[in-house]
């Protein structure tokens, strides 16, 4: 089978604790959010996931969407707790209460895919050896740098954000990278999205996507583009960055960077208005584009 995109990472359970609300537990992960997007916009998608086989039922939404799933067995399925401690949805305390562990190159089947995206939620999923192994297979690679910046504290298991020792080597192996404004500041020393993207570009990655609460920036072929979000609510904020990048990556296969940016911003704006993965259609995105993301 030939795929357009293969997503690699953990499946997990997300326990979301809204500010002033009751906890809700549901299947989640960057792989789930991303693969669902790519499938819904018509791409041929594979998901290579590490998790406990006992929880295989949570893969059914992916299968129902037409995603081919490849399970790497682990003793446990990753469990993430996300607590919103204020009305600002970007202020979150994340704790990884259990993790399926690192993925090795031997775990990843030799898929035929136009690109492979490393969609992790913490530093417990990938290491530099996996990246080198995938690069040696000749894939067009992308990575969400949260996979390295989000670092699990040994005793409390709470996520702390930290710099990456091998950040320049990692970026240099990638055709595209995704990060958010917090990760950009930690890695580059600036919260200016444009400047941060230019710095990452000097590390050898030609295409950079950076999200923040108001919108998304893309740096590609030496040019910088920006698009605001148009969401009317933030009840579906969890998975915003994963969805944005998956939409961008999917559309970018056949469109230029500027058009792909607009498509991604419109799609994730729809997603943020409803909890869970994106459940819309390309037609919904086109409608939102015409209504709220008109060309300059």
Q: What is the CATH number of the domain that holds 190?
A: 3.40.1190.20
**Percent of the chain whose pLDDT exceeds 70:** 99
Do residues 217 and 226 touch, judged by C-beta distance below 8 A?
yes
Do residues 183 and 146 touch, judged by C-beta distance below 8 A?
yes
What are the φ/ψ torsions at residue 245 (nearest 5 degrees)? -70, -40
**Which tens digits make up the pLDDT trace of 200-259?**
999 999 999 999 989 999 999 999 999 999 998 878 777 788 999 999 999 999 999 999
State how many domains the chain has. Answer: 1
Mean pLDDT in residue range 23-43: 93
Element spanning 140, H or E: strand 140-144
- Can you tell me whether residue 25 is helix, strand or coil? strand
C-alpha to C-alpha distances, 136 to 119, 129, 132, 241, nearest whole angstrom:
19, 11, 6, 27
Question: For the chain, how are helix, strand and coil distributed in percent, rounded to 5?
Answer: 35, 30, 35
Q: Could you list the residue range(s) of the whole structural domain that residue 127 is in?
A: 2-292
| CA 194 – CA 239 distance, rounded (Å) | 23
Task: Calculate the CA 139 to chain-centre distance.
Answer: 18
- 43 pLDDT above the threshold of 90: yes
Name the pLDDT band for 275 (thresholds 50, 70, 90): confident
Do residues 122 and 152 touch, judged by C-beta distance below 8 A?
yes
Name the pLDDT band for 89 (thresholds 50, 70, 90): low
- pLDDT at res. 228: 95
- pLDDT at res. 5: 98
Spatial CB neighbours of 263, under 8 Å, sequence gap ≥ 6: 247, 248, 251, 255, 285, 289
- pLDDT at res. 127: 97
Q: 148 forms bridges with which residues in the sheet?
A: none
- 291 pLDDT above the threshold of 80: yes
- CB neighbours of residue 269 within 10 Å: 24
Mean pLDDT in residue range 4-22: 93
- pLDDT at res. 68: 98
- pLDDT at res. 294: 74
| CA 235 – CA 84 distance, rounded (Å) | 12
Cα dihedral across residues 59, 61, 64, 67: positive or negative? negative
- 296 pLDDT above the threshold of 60: no
**Which tens digits make up the pLDDT trace of 102-136?**
999 999 999 999 999 999 999 999 999 999 999 99
């Amino acid at each position: 089978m030939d795929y357009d995109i293969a997503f690699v990472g953990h499946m997990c359970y997300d326990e979301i604790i809204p500010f002033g609300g009751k906890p809700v537990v549901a299947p989640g992960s960057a792989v789930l959010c991303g693969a669902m997007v790519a499938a819904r916009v018509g791409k041929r998608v594979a998901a290579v996931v590490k998790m406990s086989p006992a929880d295989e039922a949570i893969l059914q939404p992916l299968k129902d969407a037409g995603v081919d799933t490849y399970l790497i067995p682990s003793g446990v399925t990753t469990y993430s707790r996300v607590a919103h401690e204020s009305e600002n949805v970007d202020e979150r305390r994340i704790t990884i209460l259990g993790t399926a562990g690192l993925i090795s190159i031997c775990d990843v089947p030799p898929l035929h895919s136009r690109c492979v995206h490393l969609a992790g939620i913490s530093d417990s999923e990938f290491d530099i050896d996996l990246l080198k192994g995938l690069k040696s297979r000749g894939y067009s690679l992308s990575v969400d740098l949260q996979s390295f910046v989000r670092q699990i504290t040994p005793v409390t298991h709470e996520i702390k954000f930290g710099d990456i020792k091998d950040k320049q080597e990692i970026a240099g192996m990638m055709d595209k990278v995704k990060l958010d404004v917090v990760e950009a500041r930690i890695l580059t020393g600036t919260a200016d999205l444009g400047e941060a993207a230019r710095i990452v570009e000097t590390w050898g990655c030609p295409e950079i996507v950076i999200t923040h609460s108001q919108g998304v920036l893309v740096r590609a072929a030496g040019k910088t583009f920006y698009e605001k979000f148009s969401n009317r609510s933030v009840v579906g904020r969890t998975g915003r960055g994963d969805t944005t990048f998956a939409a961008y990556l999917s559309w970018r296969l056949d469109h230029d960077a500027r058009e792909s940016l607009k498509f991604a911003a419109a799609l994730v704006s729809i997603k943020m208005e409803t909890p869970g993965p994106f459940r819309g259609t390309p037609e919904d995105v086109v409608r939102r584009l015409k209504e709220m993301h008109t060309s300059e």
